Amino acid sequence: MTLPLEGIRILESALQYPGPYCCMLLADLGAEVIKVEMPGVGDYARHLPDFFRSINRNKKSLTLNLKAPAGREVLYRLIEKSDVFTEGFRPGVAKRLGIDYDTLSRKNPLLIYCSISGYGQEGPYRDLPGHDLNYQAMSGMLQCFKDSQGDFIQPTLAIGDLSSGMFAAVGILATLIARDRTGKGSYIDVSMFNGLLSWMSTHLGTFFGTGKSTKVYEPGYGIFTGRDGKAFTLGIAHEDWFWDRLCTALGLEDLRGIPGSERRERRSELTEKLRTAFGKETREHWLETLEKADVPIAPVKTLEELTHDKHILHEEMIQDVQLSTGEPTKQVSFPIKITNLPRRIRMPPPALGEHTVPLLSELGYSASDIEGLRRQSAI
């Protein structure tokens, strides 16, 4: 069947995480994604092969030296036949290379151009260097990650990279629809900082309303351990009925009927009572008991456990893929299920420059032309 983005060509000149993640989502939806990579070097993420493979399936790889005039000329010719261009340079770099929006939109007025950067293309922070952890700090998100002593916990998930990749995908999809209506291209400025700030909306909303910077959670909303030391989570966010069921299952009948406001006020005391009760039996016991009682509980799973999780297998969220080298690997599937949309991975992550020659041939370059580009270090 025809995939939703079939016929849309995207040039990905974005390295490492946000841009490649964005473009993988769009490739999963059927777009033709061409990674534009430096000859002999490629995406820096290639130094971490397993990481690279996880966000670069369903793509082609074209090596181009954008600092070489002949390399830029190839890009310009590609732009004329493309719908979207993504880049992840620091502000100002694309202009110095001659691949900024003003330049490329003159080649193709229908072009959708998406820039992903730390703090955006304007504003007092635009030129600051940074990585995900810096943007989490600046956005206030790190305030959400503290242990029971109030010390900061360093997240191991690149939340800013992932969120900006998702926001970039949303922006590109929206502007593709807008282009059909207006007949005009667009420029998209995605800031990792702004994306994280958007995800802080409810925390900031609480602060705007109360002047308080912290949210007090229910005692039944947290991470606990059983007698065997294995961790699990309770997810009682505010529901009185869940709390009462929990108390009955734990034999804490005297705690039933405590309203949410009082539970939050007595959080430390009640949490300690829950920890004591949970310490009397194993995690497996509590999983079985509380699932039967219809209380939201879930084990803290290891990565190894995920590979044979019955629900993940049912959802086909892990697929077997054969690399171009013949080596087998696994991939996490596109997470959205859409009627009549196959989630089969069409292409393995590409080798560096794997599609350079066929793409150049498609643009009208002859074998001798391609050899000339090699001699000029343009490809």
Report the alpha-carbon distance of residue 170 to residue 348 in Å, rounded: 24
Strand pairing report for 9-13 and 84-87: parallel
**CB contact set of 219 (below 8 Å; sequence gap of 6+):** 263, 264, 266, 267, 270, 271, 274
What per-residue string of b and e applies to 113-142 under the rule 16 or more CB within 10 Å gives b? bbbbbbbbbeeeebeeebebebbbebbebb
Q: Which residue has 């291209």 as its token pair?
A: 185
How many degrees, rounded to 5, is the angle at CA 160 between CA 157 and CA 166? 105
What per-residue string of b and e applies to 201-217 under the rule 16 or more CB within 10 Å gives b? eebeeeeeeeeeeeeee
- pLDDT for res 160: 96
Q: Where are the domains of the chain?
A: 9-200+334-375, 221-304
> Shortest CA distance to 227 belongs to which of 271, 283, 270?
283
Report the alpha-carbon distance of residue 356 to residue 375 in Å, rounded: 15
- Supply 290's token pair: 């509380």
- pLDDT for res 179: 98
- pLDDT for res 147: 82
The end-to-end CA distance of the chain, in Å, is: 35
What is the homologous superfamily of the domain 9-200+334-375 according to CATH? Crotonobetainyl-coa:carnitine coa-transferase; domain 1 (3.40.50.10540)
Q: Which residue has 């007092």 as its token pair?
A: 124
**CB contact set of 152 (below 8 Å; sequence gap of 6+):** 142, 145, 146
The answer, as to whether pTM is greater than 0.85, is yes
- Supply 231's token pair: 């961790």
- CA 242 to the chain's CA centroid: 32
Query: Running DSSP on this structure, what letter comes out for residue 40?
Result: T
Grouping H, G, I as helix, E, B as strand and the rest as coil, residue 268 is helix
Report the alpha-carbon distance of residue 314 to residue 327 in Å, rounded: 25
> Shortest CA distance to 11 belongs to which of 94, 92, 90?
94
Q: At residue 201, what is the residue type? A: S
- pLDDT for res 340: 84
How far, CA to CA in Å, does 72 sit from each of 77, 139, 336? 9, 36, 36
- pLDDT for res 266: 95
CATH architecture designation of domain 221-304? 2-Layer Sandwich (3.30)
Mean pLDDT, 10 residues at a time, the chain of 379 residues:
93 95 98 97 95 97 97 98 98 97 98 98 96 96 87 94 98 98 98 97 90 82 97 96 98 96 94 97 98 98 96 96 90 93 91 97 96 95
**CB contact set of 283 (below 8 Å; sequence gap of 6+):** 225, 226, 228, 230, 231, 232, 299
- pLDDT for res 344: 87
- pLDDT for res 299: 98
Element (H, E) at 166: helix 159-182
- pLDDT for res 149: 82
